[in-house]
Amino acid sequence: MNTANTLKDGTVIQSVDSALLAMNTSSRLEGIGEYYFSEKLREIDELNKAGKKVINLGIGSPDLPPHPEVIRVLHEEALKPNTHAYQNYKGSPVLRNAIAAWYQKWYAVNLDPASEILPLMGSKEGIMHICMTYLNPGDKILIPNPGYPTYRSAAKIAGAELIEYKLTKTNNWFPDFEEIGRGGLDGVKLMFVNYPHMPTGQLPTEEMFTALVTFAKAHGILLVHDNPYSFILNDQPLSLLKIPGAKDVTIELNSLSKSHNMAGWRIGMLVGAAERINEVLRFKTNMDSGMFLPVQLAAAKALQMEKQFHDEVNSIYKIRRRKVFELLTLLKCDFDQQQAGMFVWAMIPKIYKDGFALSDKVLRESNVFITPGGIFGSAGNEYVRVSLCSTEDNIHQAITRIKQNITN
Ligand SMILES: Cc1ncc(COP(=O)(O)O)c(C=O)c1O
């Protein structure tokens, strides 16, 4: 309802009563909740406001800085007057060349920088672009369980029918192709794979990758390999594209978030056959207008880092991992010591109903947050995941708090 106010000088001001418009969200958002961590971080914020000083061992956001040379390039390039315009949709040639050289050096994979590389604002946006590029409502997609939750939500938003393939410890967290085949593969268009696997930390083998490519070729499925963890606690980075013939059926996502401590910078990439890159580009060019040039040039610098950079980062993660093993032993969890990536994945003792119960208890009693494995799918229900992105001192404090609650 409109009301009128008259000012002293006689001016009449019409005002409108405040009533927020009721809106229905689109049906494509049905069943899509807020991202778990976004919700959980709000809860942790509330606890911190109440003075709890929660130690967050949940999220995988590197706390270590990028190499100083990377920051220097960002700074110098940002000071220039001519680096602030919209950028090429396909990314700066400097970054594409650096990505090609990086893939050659570390993964022994040959890529044409002009046609087989698409810089992205993180692997996460690539997941969405790929789903929107290829999936029609009702198309089927194979998703790992447990696996990164974004595969599931992006495919759902695109309207696809999700087929979860279960990964088990007894099968080394590798896909069981026979079991997948028994479920029927008619109409399956895409398959998400991710090794080193998050959350289990399982490394790939060339044999398993070869089997994947054979499977994809036999069934006409496009493999989407998400590879952001290959430099963390792993000396032998492996790309699925290294497998002979893989480019026919594979596109690969990669990222500087974890490997170069640049999660907030939002730099990733999609690599694969030129046809696939052009297809995804059709969607992406309608979503954004390129990445800030100084960020791209600094990313190119990061990709030139020598092994020493990665060794130094990994030596810190190794020390933290030993502390996390100590914490998990205290909680009577069972874990494999050979995991790659920036987390430790651990099976909970039988006394807890599931990982949520253990996570809630540790948060409530000790103000320490660890991630319940169930957020990665039902096959993660009996697990928890602890992040290595927290200082040794923080992990030590978490152990001290948990110890006090165990003895009290
Ligand atoms: C398996 C996996 N893929 C992709 C991402 C997102 O990476 P980015 O920061 O490159 O978007 C994450 C981040 O946690 C991840 O765990």
Q: What is the pLDDT of residues 297-311, one digit of tens each?
A: 999 999 999 999 999
> 320 φ, ψ to 5°?
-65, -40
Ligand 1 contact, 196 CB (< 6 A): no
Give the β-pairing of 268-272 and 250-255.
antiparallel
Distance between CA atoms of residues 148 and 272, nearest Å: 21
Ligand 1 contact, 60 CB (< 6 A): yes
Q: How far is CA 309 from CA 62, 72, 302, 379, in A?
A: 14, 16, 10, 35
Q: What is the pLDDT of residues 52-94, one digit of tens each?
A: 999 999 989 999 999 999 999 999 999 999 999 999 889 999 9
Task: Specify the pLDDT at position 1.
Answer: 52
Nearest alpha carbon to residue 288 among 166, 129, 115 = 129
Ligand 1 centroid vs 260 CA: distance in angstroms? 13
| Ramachandran bin of 261, using left for φ above 0, alpha for ψ from -120 to 50, beta for the remaining angles | left
Distance between CA atoms of residues 96 and 292, nearest Å: 14
Mean pLDDT by 10 residues, the chain (408 residues): 72 79 90 78 91 93 97 98 94 97 98 98 97 96 97 96 97 97 94 98 98 98 98 97 98 98 98 98 94 98 98 98 98 96 97 96 95 96 98 97 81
Distance between CA atoms of residues 321 and 316, nearest Å: 9
Ligand 1 centroid vs 325 CA: distance in angstroms? 23
For the chain, helix (H) and strand (E) counts, in that order, are 12, 15
Q: What is the pLDDT of residues 246-270, one digit of tens each?
A: 999 999 999 999 999 999 999 999 9
CA 332 to chain centre: 28
Task: Specify the pLDDT at position 74.
Answer: 98
Helices (H), 183-306: 206-219, 274-284, 293-302
Give the β-pairing of 117-120 and 55-56.
unpaired
Distance between CA atoms of residues 238 and 109, nearest Å: 9
Ligand 1 contact, 261 CB (< 6 A): no
Ligand 1 contact, 255 CB (< 6 A): yes
Distance between CA atoms of residues 269 and 273, nearest Å: 13
Task: Specify the pLDDT at position 7.
Answer: 79
Ligand 1 nearest-atom number relative to CA 257: 9
DSSP 343-359: EEEEEPPTTSSSHHHHH
Ligand 1 contact, 124 CB (< 6 A): yes
Mutational pocket test of ligand 1: of 257, 295, 388, the residue with most ligand atoms within 8 Å of the beta carbon: 257
